[in-house]
Amino acid sequence: MKAIDIEERVAKAKRLFKEEGYNCCQAVVLAYNDVFGIDDAVASAMSSGFGGGMGRMREVCGSVSGMVMLAGLMAPASDPSIKVDRTRNYALVQDMAGQFKALNGSIVCKELLGLVPIGSSQTVPAESPEPSERTPEYYRKRPCEELVGISARIVGEKIAEMDK
């Protein structure tokens, strides 16, 4: 893999989210897609449904989903008969998600947004599939830009470790 500037990738992910309007998953994936030779349009399309905790269902945080998607490129397990590859991939996913959870208390969107207490099994009312308008109020009440940056940093650090 080519050498990367982690802070540059973190800034790019945040910019993609806040200034360009990409969802949290897209922002993380698009911060690194070039490292893996994935076209911007393909990367954006394949990660588009994971925003808002998977289609605004407020389940797994989209930025965590972006890390998981990138883990599939970092530690591929494309042949299901190769158990060692699957184990390596799952270990990477668990490690990255564990780091995110240690920093934020959860990997669940509704908990990260404060819609339910962390660790709660409470549900939230279904939301419209229509994305929220990106207004100053939207950004004031959501930690998403910071969470996107955290996910992008975790990915960058893992890539750097793998390159050693």
> How do the pLDDT tens digits run along the chain, 164 residues long?
567 999 999 999 999 999 999 999 999 999 999 999 999 999 999 999 999 999 999 999 999 999 999 999 999 999 999 999 999 999 999 999 999 999 999 999 999 999 999 998 888 988 899 998 888 888 888 999 999 999 999 999 999 999 87
Residue 160 lies in a domain: no
Q: Quick one: how far is CA 15 from the chain centroid?
A: 14
**Whether the Cβ atoms of residue 148 and residue 14 lie closer than 8 Å to each other:** yes
State the pTM of this model. Answer: 0.95
Which residues 6+ apart lie within 8 Å of 104 measured at CB? 112, 147, 150
In a domain, residue 79? The reply is yes
Domain carrying residue 29: 6-153
Q: Where are the beta strands (DSSP E) in the chain?
A: none
| Domain presence at residue 143 | yes
Q: Is residue 164 part of a domain?
A: no
Any domain includes 162: no
CA-nearest of 18, 15, 23, 34 to 155 is 34
Domain count, the chain: 1
- Residue 1 within any structural domain of the chain: no
